[in-house]
Amino acid sequence: MLHFLRTTFPSLINMQAKLAVIPGGVHKHLVALTRLAFSEGLVLERAIDDEVVELARGLLEEGISLEEGEELGRAFGGEGGGGGDADGDGGEDEGEEG
């Protein structure tokens, strides 16, 4: 629902301002999106659909730089970020050896 609202009405919703009202709100939101975006479907994450993971990645991409995203990927997805798949497509990249 959040993805729909932010992409449908981007000029009406200033998410940063709304999150700033809550102590640590901006950071809590970032952590929640990052956990979703780099979910690997383990124990508690099993119920998270792939579509939700992709939507969370989309929201993250809108709000952070590429460098910040890589750092968050390393922090939440292990070394290399997102389990070693830098572009998050789940497969090998061109020029990448298996």
**Percent of the chain's residues with pLDDT above 90:** 4
Beta-carbon neighbour count of residue 26 at 10 Å?
16
- Residue 49 CB burial class (10 angstroms; 0-12, 13-18, ≥19): exposed
Per-residue pLDDT tens digits for 46-63: 778 888 888 888 888 887
Residue for token pair 């809108």? 62
Domain ranges of the chain: 2-9+27-81
Cα(65)–Cα(30) distance, integer angstroms: 13
Cα(40)–Cα(11) distance, integer angstroms: 33
Cα(62)–Cα(42) distance, integer angstroms: 26
State the average pLDDT for the chain.
Answer: 74
Do residues 88 and 82 make contact, with C-beta atoms less than 8 angstroms apart?
yes
pTM comes to 0.61
Per-residue pLDDT tens digits for 21-49: 999 998 898 888 888 888 776 766 777 88
